[in-house]
A and B are shown apart, each in its own frame.
Chain A
Amino acid sequence: MAKRVMDRRAADNKYLHRDFHVSGDLGIQYVGERYGDNGVKEYLRRFTTSYYSPLIADIKERGLAALKEHIESIYEIEEASEVLKTTIKDDELLVEVSRCPAIAYMKSIGHTPSKWYIEETRTVNETIADNADLGFELIHYDIETGKAAYRFFRRCF
């Protein structure tokens, strides 16, 4: 009879467990169904303010370049740099995404993203911007593919 053993060190593999996109969406959906749209926004604002505090400090220090690098790193991790275009011009960072790799993955395994999945883009980036004293505008977002365009800009009151 067989006995199988698998022994792995962390360095043996790249950390890329795409099913976490589904798990993240299920969490957002659970909050949305129990605490409503504002609950989702509140949850993601709390997450963003807490988890991204080093990024926000970096943006305050280095400006939009820090934010551009952060967004580019996300798509590098997801092995999808080709879907991303970032442009900095006149105190504005324009981000264009031709398709969302997370949505493509979720759909490929039969999971339809919840109606709140857009908030991973809208609320998260809005909160990063707000905490970094920037403006944010989601120009468009296709919920089917995640094709999107959004911009960060210096805001005036």
Chain B
Amino acid sequence: MLSCTEFIPLYSELFKYIEDKADHAAVVRYWQHISKEYVEPRLGELVKEKGIEGCWDYWTKALNEEAADFTITYDEEEQEFEIIMHYCPSKGLLNQLTHMESYHDYCGHCAHLYAPLLKEYGLESEEDYSETDKAKCRIKFYVPKK
């Protein structure tokens, strides 16, 4: 057994392995696969049941368990949900592991796991991954105004 705290480097090595066996497109297909197999039964079901509020339930649990450094805002009136990731524990860990090289597009998985799935449930998104080298990002989901 590996500890669940060792998953992030295992994940990074998985992306490297798949890309080494095929190409980056194969890694993207893996992310799409995980979005369907793992994220949809969890986040998707919550959003299906509770609307955008399901995002609050999903990420407040996950990000607390991951000991992330974040600010999450859910605006019921505006039907907006935003995560400001001040310091992502996953990317932060990989940045600290100087003895191993992390996958060059590690943060790419977030863009493929969540936004395309939530679009199927009617949520649009705005994402900023311009500072992932500092383990920072921002993602906002919202119900489009009619």
Chain A residues close to B by CB (< 8 Å): 1-24, 26-27, 30-31, 35, 39, 42-43, 46-47, 50-51, 53-54, 73-74, 77-78, 97, 100-103, 120-121, 124, 146
Chain B residues touching A, range: 35 or more
- Interface residues in B66-117 by Cβ distance below 8 A to A read 66-77, 87, 89, 97, 99-101
The 8 closest A-B pairs by CB, nearest first: A1-B77, A20-B7, A17-B65, A15-B67, A20-B4, A47-B13, A13-B67, A50-B100
* A24 and B10 contacting across the interface, CB-CB below 8 Å: yes
Q: Which residues of A contact B56 (CB under 8 A)?
A: 4
Q: Which residues of A contact B33 (CB under 8 A)?
A: 30
* B65 and A18 contacting across the interface, CB-CB below 8 Å: yes
Query: Taking CB as reference atom, which chain B residue is nearest A54?
Result: B99
Q: Given A8-B70, A15-B89, A51-B97, A43–B13 Cβ distance below 8 Å?
A: yes
CA distance A6 to B66 in the complex (A): 15
22 A-B pairs within 8 Å (CB atoms) are namely A1-B75, A2-B76, A3-B76, A4-B76, A7-B70, A8-B63, A8-B64, A13-B65, A13-B66, A16-B5, A17-B7, A18-B4, A19-B62, A19-B65, A20-B5, A20-B8, A21-B7, A23-B38, A43-B17, A53-B100, A101-B1, A120-B1
- From the candidates B2, B13, B71, name the one contacting A46 in the complex (CB within 8 A): B13
The total of interchain contacts (Cβ-Cβ below 8 angstroms) comes to: 141
Chain B residues close to A by CB (< 8 Å): 1-11, 13-14, 16-18, 21, 30, 33-34, 37-38, 56, 60, 62-77, 87, 89, 97, 99-101
Q: Which residues of B contact A102 (CB under 8 A)?
A: 1-2, 4
Main SS class of interface, B: helix
- From the candidates B4, B10, B70, name the one contacting A47 in the complex (CB within 8 A): B10
Q: Which of A5, A21, A42, A47 has the most chain B CB atoms closer than 10 A to its own CB? A: A47
* B14 and A8 contacting across the interface, CB-CB below 8 Å: no
Q: Which residues of B contact A97 (CB under 8 A)?
A: 1
Q: Given A16-B5, A26-B34, A120-B2, A31–B72 Cβ distance below 8 Å?
A: no
Q: Which residues of A contact B30 (CB under 8 A)?
A: 30
Q: Given A4-B73, A51-B97, A10–B4 Cβ distance below 8 Å?
A: no
Known: A6-B70, A46-B17. 14 other contacts (CB 8 A): A2-B77, A8-B64, A8-B68, A10-B87, A14-B67, A15-B65, A18-B65, A21-B4, A26-B34, A26-B38, A27-B10, A46-B13, A78-B3, A78-B4
Q: Which residues of B contact A77 (CB under 8 A)?
A: 3-5
Q: Which residues of A contact B101 (CB under 8 A)?
A: 50
Q: Given A3-B76, A5-B73, A31–B66 Cβ distance below 8 Å?
A: no
Q: Which residues of A contact B75 (CB under 8 A)?
A: 1, 3
Smallest CB–CB gap between A98 and chain B, Å? 13
Q: Which of A20, A53, A74 has the most chain B CB atoms closer than 10 A to its own CB? A: A20
